Amino acid sequence: MIEPASLIGFGLVLVGVSLAVSIALGLAFLGLGPRLRGWGAYAERTAAALAIGLPPLVGFGISGALAARSLLGGHLGIEDHCLVHDHHLHLCLFHGATWARQGWAVAVLAGACAAIVLRMGRRLVSVFGARLALRRLAQVAQPIPGHRTSVSLAPADTVFCFTAGVREPRIFVSTAAWDHLDSEERRAVIEHEIAHVGHGDIWFRALLGAMALFGAPFLTGRLLAAWDLATERACDQKSARVVGNSAFVASALVKLARAAKRQAPAFAASFPARHVVERVESVLRDGPDGARAARHIALWAFGLLLVVLVVSGALVDPLHHAVETLLGTI
């Protein structure tokens, strides 16, 4: 019968591996930031997403391999050494009751879980408030025909233009923003938001936010901010290609950034945002979009992840002993 207290040990492995990998990848991303930016927005966006998403995948993969080793060890011919080596803690689903008596282990895991729950709770409160605001906005907004994505004009004195909705993305533009722009700038703004829809940025940003809960808090925030900015730059470039003139995107950015007074709600992708100078310079420079580099980065990263998981499964017994020894020294 599985001992519930044994899950403490496996939880520590999950948290420890995720945190260590998050720190390593986060620092690597920050160190390579200028080079990634030179490769293009899609390359930087992909690298930031991988630095956020890979740590929990590696953590769950290694802790899962260790748990499978404990659960299926007898069927795989792996000797159970728990009763012979009773002088240290065991990563064993059946002989891990002593984990409950390790005050440091319980405190560390409880603290990590509390931090994750707290961050998740704050995110859910923000999302709930945003959903209520969007519901009220949708009731007064009027559709603008002639677009391949739902675009609605909302009567408001506040300047905003954003895309919201995970399942059915919808673009909202305020009358104040609409009146600040000429026809070409309006088209540039709409095409920027349509690019967000095409990328699936709303649901992907939500997924990254969830995966960031398992990373180093002081690094994942910077990685999410880097992903946000790279995504905005990518959509700026795509909009410029569609409208045929990057100057329209740049002028719309400047006009709306000067007039905007508040940010878009959670789970929304907004056109007027911070880092306007960098975005304007980027879209006017008309450099590489980084799509090809992004594919190479993703292939190398997932190939490395596959190697790590395969090696963890193939060498699960020595890995099991090594992790037990490490935990026993704490």
For each of the chain's 330 residues, which pLDDT tens digit applies? 677 888 888 888 899 999 999 999 999 999 998 899 889 999 999 999 999 999 999 999 999 888 888 777 654 555 555 555 555 577 777 777 788 888 888 898 898 889 889 988 988 888 888 788 888 888 888 888 877 778 899 998 888 888 888 788 889 999 999 999 999 999 999 999 999 999 999 899 989 999 999 999 889 999 999 999 999 999 999 999 999 999 999 999 998 888 876 555 555 566 766 688 889 988 998 888 899 999 999 999 999 999 988 988 888 878 877 777 777 666
Farthest-apart Cα atoms in the chain, separation: 79
Contact (Cβ atoms closer than 8 angstroms) between residue 171 and residue 185: no
- pTM of this structure: 0.87
Tell me whether residue 164 is exposed, middle or buried, using C-beta atoms within 10 angstroms of its C-beta: 0 to 12, 13 to 18, 19 or more.
buried
Between CA 288 and CA 169 the distance in angstroms is 28
Give one DSSP letter per residue of 168-218, joined into a string. S-EEEEEHHHHHHS-HHHHHHHHHHHHHHHHHTHHHHHHHHHHHGGGS-HH
* Token pair listed for 244: 């045929």
How would you write 249-278 as a 3-class SS string? HHHHHHHHHHHCCCCCCCCEEECCCCCHHH
Distance CA 92, CA 102 (A): 15
